[in-house]
Every structure is written in C-alpha cells, then in structure tokens.
Amino acid sequence: MKKRLFYSWCLLLLLQSFSVKAQKSPPNWARIYAEELFHITEVMVTDVASPPVAARIYAYTTLGAYLTILDGNPKLRFPEFLETTQIPKPTYPLLNTEIQSHEFAAVYAMFLVGEIVMPSGYLLGKAKEKWIQRGLKEKMVSTKNLNTHLQLAQKTADFVLDLARKDGYVQLTAMTRYTPKEGDGNWYPTPPAYMAAVEPEWRTMKTFFLENLNAFQPAPMAPFDLTSGSSFRAQLEEVYKIGQTLTEEQKLIANFWDCNPFKVEFSGHMAIGVKKISPGGHWVGITGIAAEKARLSFAETAYIHALLAMTLHDSFVSCWKAKYDTNRIRPETVINQKLDSEWKPLLQTPPFPEYSSGHSVISSASAEVLTAYFGDHFDFVDTSEVYFGLPSRPFKSFFQAADEASISRLYGGIHFRDAIENGIDQGKRIGKHIAKKAQLAP
C-alpha cells in the first residue's frame, strides 16, 4: 500500500513537471524588439552616421515595425496617432487571416527599411536570416506561410521607403558646399581632425510633427563679446575654469553622455575613429530599457519606439536650424585664441556650430515624450553604454537623465551654459508639442 502511494506520488510530480514545461511563458517582446533594433545601431556605428542622420534612420526603421504591427491591431489607438503626423495613411490588407505573427513581420520590415536607408545596410543580411530561422524554430511562422509574412513586411517597407525618398535627404548632396564664415565669433573646424561642418542644410528636411520650425527656435544667445563682465565672457571663463577643476564624477558624467560618433584618436600619423553610439541611439536604448521594465507588449513597444525616434528626428532638424542660423564659435576655438593656447576640453569637440546644444534639445524632448507615456518618476538603470565599455548608471526619472545629459556638455568643455539652458527649453517645447499631438498629454 505504501509503495503504491509512493509511486502514485512520483507519477503526480512527473505529470506536474510535464505540465509546467508545456506551459510556455509568453515572449518578452520588449527585449526581443530592443535586441533586434540594436542590429540597426551596430550598422550605424560602422557607418559613423551623424547624429541627425542616425535619428532619421531610427525614425524610418521603427516606423516600418510600427506600421506592420498596426496591420494586426485595428482596434488599438495607433491609427488615431498616425493621423496626427504628417504621414499619409497607408492601405493595409487588414486582418489577413494567413498572418500568424505580425511581430515577426514587423521586425523583418524594420530590417528591410534599414537595408536601404543605411550605406552599409547590406550588413543586416545575417540578422534577417537569423530572424527567419528564429521565427521558424520558435513557431512564430510556419514554412508554409513564411512568404506571406515576408510579403507583408515588404509592403510596409516599400511604403516607408517611399516616404523616406520624399523627405529631402537625397537633395542634400546637391546643395552648395558649406564654407565657414569669416569674422569673430563664427564657428570654425576644431582639433584634432578639423572635420568639415556636418549636415549644414539639415533644416530643409521634412519633419513628422513640427509644421513650423520658427515656432521652436531657442531664445537668443549671448552675443560674442570678450569685454570683461559681458555674458559671453563670463560663460567662456566658466567653461575654461570648470575644465581645469573637474571632479571624477563630472568626468564620468561627461564621458557617459559623450555619444560622439566622430571621435578620432591619433597613433603616430594614423587617425583612428572611435566607435560610439549617437546621442539619439542612447535615448533609443533608454526607451528599450523602459519598455522592458514596464513589460510592454510588442505593439506598445513598437509604438513608443517609433514615437521617440520621430521625436528625435524632428528635434535634430530644429536644433540644426538653430546651429547654422547662429553659426556660433565653439569654446575650444575661442579659449585657444584668447585665453590659453594649450587648453583642451575633456571631450572632443563635435564638427558643427555650438548653439544650441544638441544633447540638451533631444534629451529634453525625449524626456517629455517618455514621461508623458510612462509617467513621472519612472526610475531605470541605463545600460545603453555598457556595449561601448561604460558602466551602467541609475536614474530616478527621464528628466534627471536629460538634465545630466545636458550639463555633461559643460563638463566636457564643448558648450556654453546658455546653449545648454536654452536648448533644454527648446527641447521641452518640442516634446510637449509632440506628446500633445500624440494624445499623451492634455
């Protein structure tokens, strides 16, 4: 009798074990999405995409994923969101009964867009093949209807790529080559590589949300004036002094938010490019971290990434307009000319005019949109830079992260204070505008 009870008990445990194994946990779609999107980031780093170009790439690739998942979610709020942008409404084979996994098709569409909008997009070939194999292995799709999913992805990609062809990017190469302007206070190429100005006509790019760029201009900057007691002189001396007295924490903050894809190191006579994530790429990473912490579905993950990426794109268009409208000199140039010929900033100065601060604009705009979506005081650990050799860093909110990203430019010695503070205001106005249009804010 005891043996029979013992065997019965063992059999029950065995059946329970099989039952637990049979009940698969749902996919962590937020993590899967972020992992696959990172393949886009890797190619951009290889291409040394400029900050504005990187934001454009993120906008179109994430839009490809978003529009594909939208096909399988006609009852969600996403169609209404789409109508708030300047994107024409696509036509879909809504509720295609042969589509097993819109998630699978969405990731594939993201890769298809990336292949075309990046110079080295062909490097995504391996990622595409691995995704197909994963989709078959994990039964997202069957061999029988694989092509149906690939066709849906291609249809969405074609729609997005048509938008990309009409946004003004192709026309940039035909515009008059930029020449630095003569005169005190104007931007001039900086050491060590003295690179030419990056994307001087980016203001001509079509935006997703900002109908009138003039409405988002930053407040006027302090005029170039080296007279003792002037606002510009005070800011110049502040950058100079802070650069000489940096604490270890300030150095850590500056390097954590450096995100300069143009950094160059010299070994003898050979210049070596240092691979770094773009400023927008850093905030895309933060979005993925937040999406996973909030346990978002694939649809919500695709939505917030697309919204954030389009925010980044518009923010860079606005900021780059201000940069080339003002054409302001960088601290390194004027300090070397007027105060100390041997002084060097902690960070390498990026190759474009100083005002307003790009980090301040795009970080504040991102914080506005992410806070409107995830809520106030959403704490997270930022691991975006671990892949690039930097430690993780905790934040109590998106605004805390944005404020730190902004002040990091002063610690780094590459921006004046008014470019940072007015850039923060500029970014917040952009973010609030977009969040309102996306119906995330009152």
Where is pLDDT greater, at 128 or 388? 128
Query: In whole angstroms, what is the distance from residue 366 CA to residue 430 CA?
Result: 9
* Confidence tier at 242 by pLDDT (50, 70, 90): very high
Q: Check: CB of residue 54 under 8 Å from CB of residue 44.
A: yes
Secondary-structure percent of the chain, ordered helix, strand, coil, rounded to 5: 60, 5, 35
Contacts of 427 by beta carbon, 8 Å cutoff, 6+ apart: 315, 360, 361, 362, 363, 364, 365, 366, 367, 368, 402
Residue 94 has a pLDDT of 46
Tokens of 417: 């204070």
The residue ranking higher by pLDDT, 1 or 324, is: 324
More confident residue, 440 or 286: 286
Task: With CA atoms as reference, report the closest residue to 309 among 115, 109, 55.
Answer: 55
The pTM for the full model equals 0.91
Helix (H, G, I), strand (E, B) or coil at 413: coil
Most distant pair of Cα atoms in the chain: their distance: 101
Count Cβ atoms within 10 A of the Cβ of residue 154 and give its class: 0-12 exposed, 13-18 middle, 19 or more buried: middle
Half-sphere exposure at residue 420, Cβ-oriented, CA atoms within 13 angstroms:
19
The answer to whether the beta carbons of residues 109 and 156 sit under 8 Å apart is yes
**Tens digits of per-residue pLDDT, 250-265?**
999 999 999 887 664 5
pLDDT for the residue 84: 60
* Mean pLDDT, range 69-83, rounded to an integer: 62
> Could you tell me if 282 and 298 are in contact, meaning their C-beta atoms sit under 8 angstroms apart?
no
Q: Are 291 and 184 in contact (CB under 8 A)?
A: no
Examine residue 331 and say whether the peptide bond preceding it is cis (omega within 30 degrees of 0).
no
Amino acid at residue number 384: S
Looking at residue 428, what is its pLDDT? 98
* CA quadruple 313, 208, 63, 148: dihedral sign: negative
Structure tokens belonging to residue 433 = 């505008």
pLDDT the model gives residue 77: 52
- pLDDT at residue number 81: 54
Domains and CATH numbers, the chain: 29-170 (no CATH), 230-437 (1.10.606.20)
Residue of 97, 106, 112, 99 whose CA lies nearest to 142: 99
Q: How many Å apart are CA 400 and CA 442, to the nearest integer?
A: 22
Tokens found for residue 221: 């900057």
Cα 43 to Cα 24: distance, rounded to the nearest angstrom: 33
pLDDT digits (tens, 9 = 90+) for 144-181: 999 999 999 999 999 999 999 999 999 998 888 888 88
Cα radius of gyration (the chain): 24
Report how far residue 323's alpha carbon sits from residue 360's, in angstroms, rounded to the nearest whole number.
13
